[in-house]
Amino acid sequence: MLGLVGGESPSSVAAPGRLTQGASFFEWHDRGQKELGVVEELVIALNRSTKLALREAREFSPDPPDCVCLDAAGKSVAIEVAEVVCEEAARRNAQGFHVYRHWRPGELAAHVSRELADKDSKVFHGGPYRSIVVCLFTDEPALTVEQAELELANSKFGPFSQLTEGYLLFSYRAATQSYPIVELRF
């Protein structure tokens, strides 16, 4: 549901797979730089919390994958990026309205499931890859880390034929001086 300043509340369904103007914290001048910026923050967050020692993130062409980095053993890791955003809210905000989506129970898990299925269906170039990671990112104002953790803790995604890991990356939180991540269970 969209919340509109002034009380209007039209319903909306978020569409998977597009990078939009929705996550303003992650905006860059072009798509490749936006994806790389998201991946760089994911790598920092993962290295801090899991000691994966990922390094040397770079854009990859031809897409997919969006980016490639190296693991501790020097093996290539593919990373696909997608934004968790309500497209209707993003469209209305671009028109000057001040709206946001109220994520109801189950909607985030359904959105994540669609994104992951879409990413798993792609033909990845440049492999072989030790792993294929999906980084979903969000700056949705009415979606909290705690809400995502609670909903996604009871969700298991897959099975997938290619994807090996997935994470939901939130925009910077001053209180923790970090970009929180929620691991997606496969």
Q: How far apart are CA 79 and CA 59, in angstroms?
A: 10
Measured CA to CA, the distance from residue 184 to residue 186 in angstroms comes to 6
Q: How far apart are CA 171 and CA 140, in angstroms?
A: 9
pLDDT at 180: 94
**Tokens linked to 81:** 């990026």
Predicted confidence at residue 20, as pLDDT, reads: 42
Q: Which residues contact 134 (CB under 8 A, 6 or more apart)?
A: 79, 80, 81, 82, 115, 116, 119, 163, 165, 166, 167, 184
Which domains are seen in the chain, by residue range? 15-85+104-184 (3.40.1350)
Whole-number Å distance between alpha carbons of 138 and 162 = 23
Q: What is the pLDDT of residue 27?
A: 61
Average pLDDT along the chain, 186 residues, taken 10 residues at a time: 42 39 56 84 88 89 95 95 89 87 93 97 96 94 94 95 96 88 95
Residue 34 CA to its chain's centroid (Å): 12
Predicted local distance difference test score (pLDDT) of residue 133? 96
